[in-house]
Structure 1
Amino acid sequence: MAAIPTLYCLASLSQVENTPSSQDGIPQGLEEDLRAYGCKLIQQAGILLDQKQVAVATAQILFHRFWYVSSMKQFSIGDIGMGALYLASKLEECPLRIRDFINVYDLLLQRSEHKSSSSFRYAPMSYFGSTFYDLKDAIVVSEMQILKRLGFNVSVVLPYGTLVNYMQVLGLANNKEAVSQAWGYLNDALQTPVYSIFQVPTIVSAAILLTTRHLNISLPSTRPNCWWELFDAEWDDIWIVCGFIMRLYRERDPAEMMKVVKMVNKTEVRRWLEKQQLEARNQDQNGSATTTTPG
């Protein structure tokens, strides 16, 4: 089993419990949904750009780390996603042409703004207009902010090699369906913050647990012969990671999904926060008026 580098950065308990976004009034559930949507944009951009999965996965992990030191009120998930993928492409030595990168993200951002319209048609930007240069500036600034706020600690450990090793230890390496499904769970987990909270052995063990339960594969699970203890993973931590992953598959209300899509930039996030604050003030005023009115 590969050792986890000491430079691998995980969020502290205080950062997890009290993120900058939550301090600005963004509920935990909404923040998780915004994180997931930002990661989906990164994944979609990677597919359109034919980028390597290692760069896409690295970008998604850096994207999640960023929100433990920064608020969605101050930075747009769209811009930070662009910066994370551009930076990760350099880190994994598969750099992208910035013009191609900007074209793809312009398409994705336009499509997110018209998500409710089935007649969406992409309007290519003019290279002599402001859109191209605005997006170029946003990429450069976002990349700089990620490096600055993470203290240039951009070391990332990806889980795929660890998964292969664990499946061999458990005798499942030749079960193609099990390997494929566990691999998929690891990719889905990139939409959640688990890679910024837990060590890779815990996340891989969670993917294996979900896979074996879905495929009805029996593994030793009674003490003192629990299979996850081979990998120094704690059951409670594995169960938490499974919860993060399974939350992605819940049924979503279309209006709730549309709210998340519209908040791809910080302007919409601030507008939503202002609306919530106004509604809270009105409720307080109405409550005060009710208590002071004679019966």
Structure 2
Amino acid sequence: MESGLKHLSNALATPNQLSNSSSSIDGVPPELETSIRCAGAQLTQAAGVLLGLSQDIIAQAIVLFTRFWLGADGGSLRIYAAKDVSASALYLAAKLSFQPTSPRSVINVYTFLLSPDASPLWFVNPRGAPDEPPAPETYILTEGGYQSARSTLLRIESVILRALGFDTHVALPHAIALTYLQTLGATKPSVSRRVIQHLNTALLSPQLLYVTHQPNALAVAAIYLAAREQGVKLVDTEWWEVFDVDREELGFLVVGMQSTEGFMRAEKGRWENKTIPLVVDTVEAEIEKGRMLGEGE
């Protein structure tokens, strides 16, 4: 029973880990760190989709990516490129699953998504995806470039494993939520779809909901929101308590999930016509720019 419960739960971030990341200790402004972390999660999602990976694997990779930056012992954005950590986290999550993918496939997809000319991602290519197919040389690596990228992919995979203490277990709320819906008798497909949408959006939450709350609580909050949005009445009692979630935690998670879409819109506005730095050199340049603006230069 105990091992079964452990399988459905995660090791959560401590308040100290959340307030003292290695990046913040190294002088990366909190807003910049949040933007880069969110862009890295979106990059992981897009790469996973292009690789044909299941959403479970992609979500696990995003959680591993997020955990890597936590605490003083985690990775610093002034040492490790977010793009490399994203690629290695996705490669690692796929390798641990029933759907492994090759280093070459991962590298090819990331080269395309990080191309300033070919990428469809707004934070990499602010001009938007090109109307005409881009020239192959803008997103295809030479053999030498591939070998270098492969070496980096495998090296950062080892760095992630060491930073996480080789604990790669990630319990997700998606299947739990669907089980809860059945228990509550809420079988309307539109509710199930909205629940999954809320859970996937929460992967991008600036409050890092997936590393601060257990899957059962995330599942309950997504169900509460979806049922309210779809006008579906659930049981009259405080049903969330049956699933070991109190009103205070539910309220926090509902607000957090609701705010994520607004946060994403604000991020797009903040970085309009600019790229979000995903490598160490551009992070340094952004920090320096912020310092100069702060000094009024």
Mapped contact 1:39–1:190 kept (Cα < 8 A): yes
1:69-148 equivalence runs, <5 A:
69-110=74-115, 111=119, 113-116=124-127, 119=130, 121-122=134-135, 123-128=138-143, 130-148=144-162
Q: 2:204 aligns with which of 160, 167, 191?
A: 191
1:272 to 276, 286, 292: 286
Identity %: 28
Offset at residue 234 of structure 1 (A): 2.5
TM-score normalised per structure 2: 0.84
AA aligned opposite 1:176 = P
TM-score, length basis structure 1: 0.85
Larger radius of gyration: 1
Deviations 1:116-151 (A, max 9, x none): 2554725243433x4322321221121111101001
**Segments of 4+ moved more than 6 angstroms:** none
- Post-superposition Cα deviations, 1:165-191, rounded to whole Å, max 9, x if no partner, equal 21112110x211101110111111122
Equivalent of 1:235 in 238, 247, 266: 247
Q: 1:38, 1:264 within 8 Å by CA — same for their partners in 2?
A: yes
Q: CA shift at 1:262, angstroms?
A: 2.8
| Amino acid aligned to 2:253 | V
Deviates more, 1:182-191 or 1:211-220: 211-220
The letter for the 2-side match of 1:187 is N
Higher RCO structure, 1 or 2 (CA under 8 Å, sep 6+): 1
Q: Note if 1:247 corresponds to 2:259.
A: yes
* Count of aligned pairs between the two proteins: 278
Distance in structure 1 (CA, Å) of the matches to 2:273 and 2:36: 10
Measured in 1, the distance between the counterparts of 2:280 and 2:111 equals 17
Report the Cα distance in structure 1 between the residues aligned to 2:225 and 2:34, rounded to whole angstroms.
21
Q: CA RMSD in A?
A: 2.5
- Label 1:238 to 1:74 Cα distance change in 2 as closer, same or farther (>3 A): farther
1:226-266 deviation line (CA, Å, top 9, x unaligned): 11111111222223323333333113365523477431212
Residues 33 and 217 of structure 1, relative CA distance in 2, 3 Å threshold: farther
Query: C-alpha distance in 2, partners of 1:242/1:73?
Result: 33
Offset of 1:7 from its aligned partner?
A: 7.7
In the alignment, the residues of structure 2 paired with residue 6 and residue 220 of structure 1 have an alpha-carbon distance, to the nearest angstrom, of: 25
- Segments of structure 2 that go 5 or more residues without pairing to the other structure are none
23, 26, 33: which one aligns with 2:25: 23
Per-residue deviation, 1:220:
4.7
